Structure 1
């Protein structure tokens, strides 16, 4: 077997796994060829090479293929490295079925690389506001066991761990035709306490309303990983895609740990054990969907956690009705809305036991969750009724515009400025309560015309009426944004006025000899040290803006 054949049949990923080396999500790892405190070895799966960027490394400046990598790691000759590589191809190491961790790590690396070559995956992730360059996510096109990628040992391991299913079908060539688990799905990795891949979560990119979510059998692990031991504030989301959305916001990812539940009923023993290990935990924040199941799950899990963590504060984030984190991200270009919602979270939960009658008339104890806002609760004032044709901005995250036959809702709030009018718009027919939901930029006339036509057909409403309403709504939204900008504008600061005593002291200072020298000394005392000549020049130039002939300076450096 020549060197070219070895390189073709032995991926660098298998060499790394053989030596128990696992790159991070940026495909970097601590270089095994020198003392490395931070990852300096970059792995390139496209070229099947590795490169160390540290000048302290003996391999610095050399791009290593699989043979070079073995040679440097084993500290052997080129010939010995070639022989070692041959044993890794088809030898005992490959014929044995891979462990679950090894096969899932191998497959997830393959899935991650597939995203860069799949336009459907990229389009789906873009529509869900997930940046595949920033987020550790893959795509399963169902082709990993075909052609030159066919590996009998890997196929057996995939069957064992549920990624492939042999149902007895044959292909046209007579080979076994396997059913692929999670085909045409984006893939997220679940991590164990050692931060190794221990499970996979699949989310369909097709419009399949019946089964859109899949977990690999024998599910284990957490997303995105086990929280760091020094975590003080932990956010719990309802789904993995919600957690991935929050992790893309630096202000949240840097200050909070994020952990995804597996649905409203997906708070597992593994979640509980991971939270119990957080000795410095100060607050648990529930950020579940704004619907009835989400509210019930928040109450249920908050009660359970409060009994286990009496010292930790339990809080929850409230969102517009019917929204989840990812849908909010799709409706907003500015992610500051999530920071605003997080800062407005409801804290200081307390619990009590009440007696309530059940349907049979029997008394039973039921835990009831109360939300305390710190100050004594004031009687709720009923807002004045909104006149038809006016904009109701009582709830900034669910604006309402009412007409005779139609209600319009703007979910999730407004843009910060009037340079665009991208909103999540809900059109509701009052008679049938049927709704049409769309994300639209009201400044785009073609979008408005198309939306009115489609919504009119769906709701049996005149398109011309809808179009006129939306033009009026656009004007009202512009006025509201301008009003908010005006209120947020800081007041202009009045110029300081010198007193008579201060004016007299200033005149005396200016009338004394060697004014320039004394000004220069004061600049030094004020903290502008050095550059004695330049500092006085710049001061005089700055003062000249009040004169008829203003001086100018060009500063280089």
Structure 2
């Protein structure tokens, strides 16, 4: 192999990755001298390096020689062995049915000729030949180097959750035919392969200009059965939202007369094959080692992109046992899975066909918003089409509905179009099947009991409300809750236990949030997440302000200072999107009025009865009378229930017929929160609610009844001037002392509070004029109840108002 061929086929970026060197702003600390400040500049696009301190410069071979301190001959042999090893790895990856991470046909030898009956020849005007595959391989090597040099492309990869050190990805900046690189041969071959298009354009300099194929696009190779690159796919990194791409402009580009598949032809011994709808979805799964090791993958070319070549590949897999669809969850994706399932069943009647139900729109969005471990569980719980081979014995256990998730109406009749029978692959080992559980008529009661099995004792309405608030992170308008209670009352415990019931890949727990930390997350790091703040009292005002903005607008926008490649400061616009639900705990409710106005308030039950329940549970647990495995199974099963919930738009036809009382503070905001809880109850009952022709869930009167019951105490807290703990403290004083005077020691005996907390509460009640302070400090104050607000009367009136409205609704039904 000639030295020039080695230099052409190996990139400096690959050498740096091989040695574990990570340039920052194209700079490294020079390894040839004691370099305290990075002075070695690497040009990944042109494949050379230069140290501005010692003056050393060179190409990829020189880099190997300098870094390993070996001779030129040894460096050449090292580069050869590196290329040959990569070639062997590439062939091994193709045999296993996965693309070789980060390598592209690295040998300097010519690719094999295409056989005449092979339909995998690339586009060439007037014919085909072996040079096209070699040329596209060289171009991909160039595009891979260009990716390292483009921050927008790297940022886009990070945003999409793709790892270019594992995947074979390049970037077309549109400059490959400019400057020193431009030759007649390059232009000629680019025109013949379609990388350049002659549109009769004239450059500003007067010379000929060309339109660039897939400009500003990520580049993915399409390969034939010989593992040669025979075409490429380009995915634009521009978006209409950034005002860089005109609305309606295509984001997907293929060379004409497209052939080949992504990532490569699968191993002939493949047993399980995953089909994705898009190449980026396939790449998302390909970078997960467990999936690479256990499945082969092929990407279709869009919703209707299972072409003849892919079908022929599947038919020729003699050892194939199962085909797994991992398509989008929209109407088009559901429809084509039904269509292709029937098609494949006709050609391969003995093969199993299954589909994966994703929690998000598609595979890549699921990867962005979850840990990659979720795909292992999703694949394990995939749904088999046409059969009941999971042993459940129920062929129509679930229904696959075009345009929606699995759904049954309240009458157990399928709503939707042209259902195809499918069954769950693996029923739960805990409480049965999650979807069966969600179909129960008394779902909320059963769910509440299951939450108690998971270890949350008492607080029956509060725990259910907190659960509904938390699962709203799946919706476009998530909810937020603040749990208020005295020190040691268990407020942090309950929000932590609720968080345990959620899929843990979606939960972020914080003890403290600094003033600027929320502004420094990635754009989608807080998208569809659950945030648990263990102590709201530890947040400073700037952090509380950022949290309020997130709750109100779901986005933070900040002007920040960054350094450019030359080290100069410049301003930049940073955006963090925050579609998350949150739970937080505090002892000082009234200090966070702005936050509380935007959140549901839940007061910890500090009654003697609740205390007895908790102590009894703790004693039974310590005595070994409680089986911890039952608690763990309940937690695991609730997590599966959450994963089986899908997002729907909810229509409440009764929204104008039920009103909150007039004496509620912040009635406008509370009304919206009240309607939100009704929607959450409708959503959790989605397997029992009717679906409109527009794929919207319809609220029932029963949902409103449940919302009133669950939210009643939170509405009372909104009406009440006192927060939850202070109200419970005051009610104990009223019950015991009525008209008589009392000292703080008397109050301590009645309420059970210690001196410091008790004095805070007494002072608050004096300030709010609920208590009158009598006497002098040096002789000890006495107190007397000065205002009896009769909260029980308020509660009764509110309950009667809601009951009357609900009865009127039922009478009209």
Query: Is TM more than 0.5 here?
Result: yes
Residue 234 of structure 1: which of 273, 276, 287 is its match?
Answer: 273
Structure 1 residues 446 and 143: alpha-carbon distance in aligned structure 2, compared to 1, 3 A threshold: farther
Aligned residue for 1:183, secondary structure, equals coil
Contact 1:348 1:373 in 2 (8 A): no
Structure 1 residues 216 and 400: alpha-carbon distance in aligned structure 2, compared to 1, 3 A threshold: closer
Deviation (angstroms), 1:468? 4.2
Residue 107 of structure 1: which of 129, 139, 153 is its match?
Answer: 139
Matched residue, 1:82? none
Residue 267 of structure 1: which of 301, 306, 312 is its match?
Answer: 306
Matched residue, 2:380? 343
Show the 5 A alignment for 1:138-157. Answer: 138-157=170-189
Structure 1 residues 111 and 368: alpha-carbon distance in aligned structure 2, compared to 1, 3 A threshold: same
Matched residue, 1:391? 467
Deviations 1:20-53 (A, max 9, x none): xxx9xx99xxxxxxxxxxxxxxxx965343989x
Matched residue, 1:130? 162
> In 1, distance between residues paired with 2:141 and 2:313?
25
> In 2, distance between residues paired with 1:180 and 1:473?
58
Matched residue, 1:295? 334
Show the 5 A alignment for 1:14-53. Answer: 47-49=59-61
Per the normalisation by structure 1, the TM-score is 0.58
Show the 5 A alignment for 1:88-487. Answer: 99-207=131-239, 208=245, 209-210=247-248, 211-320=250-359, 323-332=361-370, 334-347=371-384, 349-350=386-387, 369-373=420-424, 380-382=439-441, 384=443, 389-392=465-468, 398=474, 413-415=503-505, 419=509, 438=527, 442=531, 448-455=547-554, 468=596, 487=631
Aligned residue for 1:172, secondary structure, equals coil
Deviation (angstroms), 1:318? 0.6
Residue 488 of structure 1: which of 625, 632, 639 is its match?
Answer: 632
> In 1, distance between residues paired with 2:629 and 2:176?
53
Deviation (angstroms), 1:451? 2.7
Deviation (angstroms), 1:205? 0.7
Deviation (angstroms), 1:452? 3.5
Structure 1 residues 327 and 470: alpha-carbon distance in aligned structure 2, compared to 1, 3 A threshold: farther
Deviations 1:379-435 (A, max 9, x none): 94345469995533998994799879xxxxx9x9543765469xxxxxxxxxxxxxx
Contact 1:391 1:400 in 2 (8 A): no
> In 2, distance between residues paired with 1:327 and 1:473?
32
> In 2, distance between residues paired with 1:273 and 1:192?
13
Per the normalisation by structure 2, the TM-score is 0.41
| Unaligned stretches of 5+ residues in structure 1 | 1-5, 17-22, 28-43, 53-57, 70-84, 86-95, 353-365, 405-409, 422-436, 459-463, 477-483, 492-557
Deviation (angstroms), 1:196? 0.7
Matched residue, 2:74? 61
Matched residue, 2:724? none
Show the 5 A alignment for 1:494-505. Answer: none
| Unaligned stretches of 5+ residues in structure 2 | 19-45, 49-58, 66-70, 83-107, 109-127, 240-244, 389-394, 396-416, 428-432, 446-460, 481-498, 512-525, 534-542, 557-576, 578-591, 605-627, 636-813
Contact 2:369 2:506 in 1 (8 A): no
Deviation (angstroms), 1:153? 1.0
Aligned residue for 1:319, secondary structure, equals coil
> In 1, distance between residues paired with 2:9 and 2:479?
67
> In 1, distance between residues paired with 2:594 and 2:529?
14
Structure 1 residues 182 and 149: alpha-carbon distance in aligned structure 2, compared to 1, 3 A threshold: same
Number of paired residues? 384
Deviation (angstroms), 1:141? 0.4
Contact 1:303 1:369 in 2 (8 A): no
Matched residue, 1:88? none
Aligned residue for 1:177, secondary structure, equals strand
Deviation (angstroms), 1:236? 0.6
> In 1, distance between residues paired with 2:318 and 2:8?
38
